[in-house]
Amino acid sequence: MATHHRARFVVCHRDVIEDGVVSIDDGRVVAVGPHDAARHANAVDHGETALVPGVVNAHSHAFQRALRGRAEHLTAGQDDFWSWREVMYRMANALDPEQVEAVSAMAFLEMARAGITTVGEFHYLHHQPDGTPYDDPNTLAHRVIAAARKVGLRITLLRVAYGRAGFRKAPDPLQRRFIDSDVYRYLGAVTALDAAWRHEPRVEIGMAPHSVRAVTGKWLWSISEHQKIMKLPVHIHACEQRAELEACKAEYGRLPVEVIADEGLLNTRSSLVHATHLDRRALDLIEERGPSIVACPLTEANLGDGILPAGELLARRAHIAIGSDGQSRIDPWSELSQIENNLRLRHERRNVLAHHADERDGRRHTADVLWPMANENGARSLGLDCGALAPGHPADMIALDLRDPALAGTRAGTLLADLCLGMTPRAVRSAWVAGEAIVSEGRHPAEDAIVDGFRRVMGTLERGL
């Protein structure tokens, strides 16, 4: 029998229903519409809240939660991405399996408290620190999935393929935990991981060739062949740092997006993460092949990557999703507003994204354009059917407190603008995944245990971390 959730606002796609009801049965939405006293007599009344789809965080490296603050501190005096990466590698090598789980649980808890109900975990920690695989080569992947299950998040574990140190580079001992000896061993591990979680509806598996820098064209091609058979989502770091472009060109004679396309991995089941530096050819390929784009503006700012050309991408109908990536902050609402705000700063005008979308679809509001990036587009990127409070979709939703100082005074017509541009994690009151509550009244039931576990890990790290 369906459970009815009533609230002052219910958001179904881009429509805001006043005094709405979401009806849930067996973990899925079965109906959405205005409250009807007769049909919804026993509704749970969430009062002055907005029920909206849970946020889909399409790109996360959970263990990097342990780097917050520390990375800033340890890289003082150094000013590039690559010095940051050295610190990240040290952290990656410092954590044992139990610690990987504890740190991941902390990241996932923070996500849930910020309104995220699904995470796409781009997971590249595979082996023991000396590079020897664990007895089960998916040991650490299982640990990360266990952390998501502890918190209750829906997860797509994107198992990373890492084959080499970089474009024509000698092996780097700091990457030993990431590197699989060959692509067939990698695909074997993916298949085993997928089989292990086949019957758990909140866990899905995908593939993630790390980047054209970290795997060869041969690997990309084999992964593409496997994708055709298994229909798995594939994520890849596309062009985050400008330095990668030249190095890629030197090896392949083409830029990364073209290489990815040529190797068969630019398609509607694939996602380009950090599509920061795109030439016209790359934009055309994206329009033609229809991959998702995952933007991580807070991380891309923190690492000095550059500004996503989101306007040009929207003008080509790209589906942009968001990710918390390096976890320097976990605030999907800031991620969302920054996509637009960065363009306003660059072009020194307002409503940039809506303007680009207008050219194809007629008058739009900034919020109309940003809103799907937080939910539907993320689900598309991960090959999931969550991301909308509409019949047939999983009941992944959050209740936002309309009396929180950030949202007070909103109304149906401005709710999406308030959520896309003025929202803060504090206003997240409850969260459900497949109809089950994971956050209630602003707290997670395992919060104390997870925070304590994380603090223990951080307490044992050495001085240099």
Site for a copy of itself in 63-82 (CB under 8 A): 65-66, 68-70, 72-73, 75-81
Nearer to a copy of itself, 298 or 374 (CB): 298
Determine if 47 is a binding residue for a copy of itself (CB under 8 A): no
Determine if 426 is a binding residue for a copy of itself (CB under 8 A): yes
Out of 13, 14, 83, 146, name the contact with a copy of itself by CB under 8 A: 83
Out of 161, 205, 322, 367, name the contact with a copy of itself by CB under 8 A: 367
Helices (H) and strands (E) in the chain, counts: 17, 16
Determine if 110 is a binding residue for a copy of itself (CB under 8 A): yes
Structure tokens at 385: 């059917």
Give the range of 6-14, 259-267, 387-395, 424-432 binding a copy of itself by CB under 8 A.
424-432
Nearer to a copy of itself, 218 or 346 (CB): 346
Q: By rule CB under 8 A, what count of residues binds a copy of itself?
A: 82
Q: Which one-letter DSSP state was computed for residue 99?
A: H
- Lookup result for tokens 């006293």: 37
Give the range of 153-161, 166-174, 181-189, 402-410 binding a copy of itself by CB under 8 A.
402-410
Counted residue by residue, the chain has a size of: 465
Determine if 443 is a binding residue for a copy of itself (CB under 8 A): no
Active-site residue, selected from the candidate residues 194, 325, 331, 396: 325
Out of 27, 94, 341, 390, name the contact with a copy of itself by CB under 8 A: 341
SS3 119: strand
Nearer to a copy of itself, 100 or 265 (CB): 100
Out of 100, 109, 259, 395, name the contact with a copy of itself by CB under 8 A: 109
Determine if 413 is a binding residue for a copy of itself (CB under 8 A): yes
Residue 274 annotated in active site: yes
Nearest distance from residue 290's CB to a copy of itself, in Å?
A: 27
Nearer to a copy of itself, 185 or 349 (CB): 349
- Short-list 63, 61, 86, CA closest to 457: 63
Determine if 304 is a binding residue for a copy of itself (CB under 8 A): yes
Largest CA distance in the chain: 70
- Short-list 319, 318, 313, 307, CA closest to 347: 307
Determine if 455 is a binding residue for a copy of itself (CB under 8 A): yes
Rounded CA-CA distance 239/282 in Å is: 11
Determine if 303 is a binding residue for a copy of itself (CB under 8 A): yes
Please give the backbone phi and psi of residue 111, each rounded to the nearest 5 degrees, phi first: -60, -50
Determine if 422 is a binding residue for a copy of itself (CB under 8 A): yes
DSSP string, 310-347: HHHHHHTT-EEEE--BT-SS--HHHHHHHHHHHHHHHH
Q: Do residues 53 and 410 make contact, with C-beta atoms less than 8 angstroms apart?
A: no
Rounded CA-CA distance 437/458 in Å is: 29
Determine if 403 is a binding residue for a copy of itself (CB under 8 A): yes
Rounded CA-CA distance 49/389 in Å is: 15
Nearest distance from residue 109's CB to a copy of itself, in Å?
A: 6
Q: Which helix (H) or strand (E) holds 256?
A: helix 256-262
Restricting to residues 208-247, name those near a copy of itself by CB under 8 A.
Answer: 241-242
Q: Do residues 49 and 402 make contact, with C-beta atoms less than 8 angstroms apart?
A: yes
Q: Which helix (H) or strand (E) holds 104?
A: helix 97-114
Give the range of 24-32, 153-161, 287-295, 356-364 binding a copy of itself by CB under 8 A.
356-364
* CA atoms within a 13 Å half-sphere pointing along the CA-CB vector of 265: 32
Nearer to a copy of itself, 226 or 365 (CB): 365
Q: How far is CA 244 from CA 18, 82, 171, 173, 254, in A?
A: 49, 11, 17, 21, 11
Restricting to residues 139-198, name those near a copy of itself by CB under 8 A.
Answer: none
Active site residues: 274, 325
